Amino acid sequence: MPLIQEIDHGTPPRLSNTQVTLRIDGHDVTVPAGTSVMAAAMQLGTKIPKLCATDSLEPFGSCRLCLVEIEGRRGTPASCTTQAEAGMVVTTHTDRLAKLRKGVMELYISDHPLDCLTCSANGDCELQDMAGAVGLREVRYGYTGANHFADTKDESNPYFTFDPAKCIVCNRCVRACEEVQGTFALTITGRGFDSRVAPGPTDFLGSECVSCGACVQACPTATLIEKSVIALGQPEKSVVTTCAYCGVGCSFKAELQGDRVVRMVPYKQGGANAGHSCVKGRFAWGYATHRDRITRPMIRAAITDPWREVSWHEAIAHAAAEFKRLQASHGRDAVGAISSSRCTNEEVFLVQKLVRGALANNNIDTCARVCHAPTGYGLKTTFGTSAGTQDFKSVAHADIILLIGANPTDGHPVFASRMKRRLRQGAKLIVADPRRIDLVRTPHIAASHHLQLLPGTNVALVNALAHVVVTEGLVDEAFVRQRCDLADFESWARFIAGAENSPEATEHFTGVPAAELRAAARLYAAPGKNGAIYYGLGVTEHSQGSTMVMGMANLAMATGNIGRDGVGVNPLRGQNNVQGACDMGSFPHEFPGYRHVSDDATRDMFEATWGRPLDAEPGLRIPNMLDEALEGNFKGLYIQGEDIAQSDPNIQHVTAALRAMQCVVVQDLFLNETAQYAHVFLPGASFLEKDGTFTNAERRINRVRQVMEPLAGMSEWQVTAALATALGFPMHYNHPSEIMAEIARLTPSFAGVSYDKLDQLGSIQWPCNAAAPTGTPIMHVDRFVRGTGRFMITEFVPTEERTGPRFPLILTTGRILSQYNVGQQTRRTENLAWHAEDVLELHPFDAESRGIVTGDLVALASRSGEIALHAVVCERMQPGVVYTTFHHARTGANVITTDFSDWATNCPEYKVTAVQVRRTNAMSKWQTTHEAQAGALRRIAPAAE
């Protein structure tokens, strides 16, 4: 695995059906019209010297190094800004050009510190390379003139430095921030010699910069450089792998010295990210070697005992013996497991296989239960498959983007950059969100409509949008006739046309002015345009989460916005492998590939392969497991890579249930919140330590490749296989590729997937089978997976969680960019610089009436419990609605949330909790108790002499 040096073509590829042939240095080359002369030359393997050009950015033409001669043209045009034309005859290397280039380089070098040998970028510096390429040997102007050597370094960003003394003002960083990231944090101040790159009037940390790293990536010198490279030196080899944070699934080159990661560089060939990244994947990987990692298995008889380190053999034998004992004394159904959306497909597959084959029940569930389970239910019911319809690239063809209950700039930042690019090109945006999220107005983007609905009224909103479509003649009748079930459509159309679904009637619930909603509906449904729906947990985490997913599917079908580029219904999945965890049979009623456990033919196939009789009855969901534990019927739980004592609603209920169990087995990187209630701790492996695959929100299966040895000696899949074997259900695999081969044999949508094919193609979007051997970027193109599209009646039923005099405000929860989920990983990185604690956002009106100002400690109380946190008064919120995140365990945001959940899937209603807020001067009782007991429940006994 040598260091991968990706080819830089100098300017971005052009997609044109017209090809042009030109002659460069005596060789003919044919390229799509619009391609630069520089990129055409690169196609022939001819590198024209360049500094301000790179193929992730539009050409700028400022450095004058890439000059060429073109027959019939005067002067020496820049090859980066000159488009190839048919019949053009170009010469790239002549004495005249060499002299001009040398002159340009002399000017640059005369104002550049001559510390190449000790510079951190030595060997990875384009300025150095270009000095060599033009044969620069001396600088006629000397080094004594005016220069920038004394300019001050900006080291405020935790991950990279900015050393203006080395800047050549090529503008690549500024353009990367604008074109690639879409943040517009950088600017060039001054003119001529005084031109300088500046992150606004402040330093990087205090600026608009979101630390995505695009400018660092683009910088051709050591001006912007990773601190890890400064500390460790240049990497010597690379391994291509996949980010383990969000559902975008960005590909990275892990660049190493030995088995030590020096930096993570976004991979240009990555199908999901095409060379871009966000602060988490790019920089926040240090948790993998954090001192808090637990690398020895541990057991204890009671949770009040200190942990005792044991061998892998003893830990696994103990867990297996306990599960057998519990099943013998309390019945087969007294134990179960929870798989993780952070783990690989192969690991998740093995956990459900262990449950079905070794524990002989279907008590397997996954954290998708608390995020996107309604997506699975809703899209399967209407379209026939439990996944989003598009690839990310599709957004480049959208004319109208309807964004509902999602905040992509924080939750799915790399996709947000794609979306912002399309919006800057002129696509229209409709945001439906209780908060004024950044995308409502951000540099060069302004939403056409912000439907600022009250939390809990999504279904009323989507029904009103559909009402306008149906009653104003905006239905795509040809699409509906050809592609959908007509009887279902007609009964749905009658229902939706009812006066109760009109914008005027629903305004009463949603708070969205009827005229605004009508205008938004007309915009989304505009005939002949591509309308695309993107949504997040603001849709699913409601008592009507599944209804809302079906409501959006209805809307897309009625307007014909399904089955081609630029349209669709697209869930922005939360965790890295939540799609995969669902695909792999993590639900108690479904085998891998979403086939019901009661289906005899499917069960026969799994029984034949696994050699075990399998249960035809669905097992327990997570909430049922917890309830049964409190009833005394559920006694043992194997939890791989999830932290339900922080992530799940009503923590008091969760922890009481965990305390009621006799054997809780936690497999994780750290002694997380749930591990406080565990009896067996099995050390996990980070994404850098294992092989496998993740499936992202666009159904893209990406390879995860081992970068370093597992710190604890075993990957999760090996531990699960050992546990199954100890339970009497032998599992033997030499490599995760063998697990994938079994998945492919048993799962029709994965039938054509193999590690060899993944290595060859880079990634594959399922379904991948005989009909689609290289995968399926866009689904439901000619027909829906279920045959005809099915319209579902989506009656709005208000949540039972009601505000009143005691709890007059609505709390809604979400995420922020720099932290991830329960924060176990990101809290152990420098990302704390941006978000060191969870805070409560509230509107000035609600703050003022309570005497609250930003920075005050406030008590946040609901019917479930009370916590205290600091207030931030801001106009992002609407009056009556407050907001917080759940990234910090000590805050305990889920102490507040309730047991209400989606009617179809039990996905918790995190987004609607009636609360009261008041000033306080003390932490809450829960917080104080939690702080005191956390240390006690995490004690590790000193190792025996």
Task: Please tell me whether residue 169 binds ligand FES under the rule CB under 6 A.
Answer: no
Question: Quick one: what does residue 63 bind among ligand SF4, ligand FES, none, with the CB cut-off 5 to 8 Å set by partner type?
Answer: ligand FES
Which one of 242-250, 314-322, 844-852, 864-872 is the stretch in contact with ligand SF4 (CB under 6 A)? 242-250
Question: Quick one: what does residue 50 bind among ligand SF4, ligand FES, none, with the CB cut-off 5 to 8 Å set by partner type?
Answer: ligand FES
> Token pair of 488, please?
């279902």
Task: Please tell me whether residue 121 binds ligand FES under the rule CB under 6 A.
Answer: no
Under 8 Å CB-to-CB from 698, ≥6 apart: which residues?
249, 272, 388, 390, 391, 392, 570, 765, 777
Q: Phi first, then psi: what are they for 162, rounded to 5°?
A: -125, 110
Residues 43-62 that bind ligand FES (CB under 6 A): 50-53, 61-62
Q: Find the shortest distance in angstroms from Cβ 828 to ligand SF4.
A: 15
Q: Find the shortest distance in angstroms from Cβ 266 to ligand FES.
A: 22
Question: Quick one: what does residue 219 bind among ligand SF4, ligand FES, none, with the CB cut-off 5 to 8 Å set by partner type?
Answer: ligand SF4
Question: Quick one: what does residue 273 bind among ligand FES, ligand SF4, none, with the CB cut-off 5 to 8 Å set by partner type?
Answer: ligand SF4
Q: Which of 31, 39, 42, 65 binds ligand FES (CB under 6 A)?
A: 65
Helix (H, G, I), strand (E, B) or coil at 370: helix
Task: Please tell me whether residue 63 binds ligand FES under the rule CB under 6 A.
Answer: yes
Task: Please tell me whether residue 218 binds ligand SF4 under the rule CB under 6 A.
Answer: yes
Q: Find the shortest distance in angstroms from Cβ 66 to ligand FES.
A: 3
Residues 178-207 that bind ligand SF4 (CB under 6 A): 181, 183, 185-186, 197, 199
Residues 69-88 that bind ligand FES (CB under 6 A): 78, 80
CA 572/CA 151 separation, integer angstroms: 43
In this structure, the number of other CB atoms found within 10 A of the CB of residue 145 comes to 9
Which one of 162-170, 444-452, 453-461, 593-601 is the stretch in contact with ligand SF4 (CB under 6 A)? 162-170
Which residues lie across from 857 on neighbouring strands?
A: 870
Q: Which residue is nearest to ligand SF4 (CB)?
A: 281
78 versus 423: smaller Cβ distance to ligand FES: 78
> 28: closest CA among 107, 70, 86?
86
Give the contact letters, 385-424, x = binds to ligand SF4 (CB under 6 A), - = no. Answer: ---------------------------xxx----------
Q: For residues 430 and 410, is the Cβ–Cβ distance under 8 A?
A: no
> 3: closest CA among 239, 209, 229?
239
State how beta strands 839-842 and 763-765 pair.
unpaired
Under 8 Å CB-to-CB from 24, ≥6 apart: which residues?
37, 40, 41, 44, 46, 90, 91, 92
Q: Please give the size of the binding site for ligand SF4, defined by CB under 6 A.
A: 42
276 versus 780: smaller Cβ distance to ligand SF4: 276
Handedness of CA 552, 557, 563, 567 (dihedral sign): negative
168 versus 582: smaller Cβ distance to ligand FES: 168
Question: Quick one: what does residue 78 bind among ligand SF4, ligand FES, none, with the CB cut-off 5 to 8 Å set by partner type?
Answer: ligand FES
In this structure, the number of other CB atoms found within 10 A of the CB of residue 759 comes to 12
Q: Find the shortest distance in angstroms from Cβ 815 to ligand SF4.
A: 11
Q: Would you give the DSSP letter of residue 178? A: I
Q: Which of 50, 101, 102, 172 binds ligand SF4 (CB under 6 A)?
A: 172
How far apart, in Å, are the Cα atoms of 467 and each of 267, 495, 502?
44, 9, 6
220 versus 684: smaller Cβ distance to ligand SF4: 220
CA 170/CA 219 separation, integer angstroms: 8
Which one of 31-39, 129-137, 277-285, 670-678 is the stretch in contact with ligand SF4 (CB under 6 A)? 277-285
Helical ranges in 221-330 per DSSP H: 227-232, 279-283, 312-330
Residues 244-273 that bind ligand SF4 (CB under 6 A): 245-246, 248-250, 273
Under 8 Å CB-to-CB from 145, ≥6 apart: which residues?
110, 111
Task: Please tell me whether residue 64 binds ligand FES under the rule CB under 6 A.
Answer: yes
Task: Please tell me whether residue 215 binds ligand SF4 under the rule CB under 6 A.
Answer: yes
Q: Which of 22, 31, 274, 278 binds ligand SF4 (CB under 6 A)?
A: 278
371 versus 639: smaller Cβ distance to ligand SF4: 371
Q: Find the shortest distance in angstroms from Cβ 10 to ligand FES.
A: 7
Tell me: cis bond preceding 306? Omega within 30 of 0 counts. no
CA 408/CA 341 separation, integer angstroms: 19
> Token pair of 725, please?
């074997």
Helix (H, G, I), strand (E, B) or coil at 903: coil
Under 8 Å CB-to-CB from 694, ≥6 apart: which residues?
242, 244, 249, 344, 345, 576, 577, 580, 701, 702, 704
Which one of 102-110, 276-284, 865-873, 874-882 is the stretch in contact with ligand SF4 (CB under 6 A)? 276-284
Binding site for ligand SF4 (CB under 6 A): 167-173, 176-177, 181, 183, 185-186, 197, 199, 209-215, 218-221, 223-224, 243, 245-246, 248-250, 273, 277-278, 280-281, 412-414
Binding site for ligand FES (CB under 6 A): 50-53, 61-66, 78, 80
